[in-house]
Amino acid sequence: MRRPFIAGNWKLNQTIAESRELAQQLVANLAGVEDRDIVIAPVFTALSTVAEVIKNSPIQLAAQNCYPQIQGAFTGEVSPLLLQDVGCNYSILGHSERRQLMGETDSFINLKLLKVLETGLLPILCIGETLQEREENRMLEVLTRQIEGGLDTLTAEQMAGVVIAYEPIWAIGTGITATDDQAQDAHSFIRNLIRELFNTEVAAATRILYGGSVKPDNVDGLLAQEDIDGALVGGASLKAEDFTRIVRFES
């Protein structure tokens, strides 16, 4: 019932020329794949080039971040309006690297999310616990805080445009993936939380992606889980062959 959603987060990688080449390979590999959402998130400087390459393909464009203002005296920032202008459909928000390295808080991420929705882009809200939080049995508390904070003041109607990505920080870029059961447990908890905060229909319709060392050899098991609706892929999304196999997951 929920349309699968596979997103590639290219992070701080790839020149414009490399981005163009990777996007061209993906367009060729994924032509005709119409039954799932496919999204790639290049660096800001490559968005325009990649937008051109993926035009008329099933691939959609995401930014990796944005600022919660439309325009003005905000030196060095990029607004949701400008992302839309360059051809983005989505913006990733609250990625753990931004939370950890740039000190982004739930309330700041919430401002971004509201501004993104107001502009007509769709947010991919990232949440996830550290290894220490998991070991101290604080995972559910952390996920609750991130969901409640990130989605604060959102209406059920607005939730229709929101994609959630559960990315346990200990699994990001480490080669350690959450087991199918660990991921399913977290996803089911998040879906229940969304049910409590909104309603049953919203919970049933919200897509929750898993992220953290998703690879061609583990994607099928993860995506076979009831509450896992897709993947947010970092490292493996930089290899056309791997990302293609992930998009073409079989479960």
Catalytic residues: 95, 167
Residue of minimal Cβ distance to ligand PGA = 234
Q: Which residues, 6+ apart, have CB-to-CB distance to 185 below 8 Å?
A: none
Q: Which is nearer to ligand PGA, 211 or 230 (CB)?
A: 211
Which two tokens mark 237? Answer: 């999304």
65 binds ligand PGA (CB under 6 A): no
Taking the C-alpha atoms of residue 47 and residue 136, their distance in angstroms, rounded to an integer, is 40
Output the smallest distance, CB 100 to ligand PGA, in A.
11
Output the smallest distance, CB 18 to ligand PGA, in A.
17
Output the smallest distance, CB 166 to ligand PGA, in A.
11
Burial 135-173 (b: 16+ CB within 10 A, else e): eeeebbebbbebbebbbeebeeebbeebbbbbbbbbbbe
SS3 label, residue 204: helix
Q: Which is nearer to ligand PGA, 37 or 203 (CB)?
A: 37
**138-177 footprint of ligand PGA as x/- string (CB under 6 A):** -----------------------------x----xx----
SS3 label, residue 180: helix
Number of residues that bind ligand PGA (CB under 6 A): 13
Which two tokens mark 161? Answer: 């445009």
CA-wise closest residue to 143 among 116, 125, 163, 155: 125
Per CB under 6 A, contacts with ligand PGA among 220-249 are 232-236
CA-wise closest residue to 53 among 6, 102, 86, 83: 86
Q: Which is nearer to ligand PGA, 80 or 234 (CB)?
A: 234
Output the smallest distance, CB 232 to ligand PGA, in A.
5
Taking the C-alpha atoms of residue 208 and residue 189, their distance in angstroms, rounded to an integer, is 11
**8-27 footprint of ligand PGA as x/- string (CB under 6 A):** -x------------------
Output the smallest distance, CB 196 to ligand PGA, in A.
26
Q: Tell me, rounded to whole angstroms, the distance of Cα 233 from its chain centroid.
A: 8
**204-223 footprint of ligand PGA as x/- string (CB under 6 A):** -------xxxx---------
The one-letter amino acid at 29: N
User: Which residues of this protein are in contact with ligand PGA, per CB under 6 A?
Assistant: 9, 167, 172-173, 211-214, 232-236
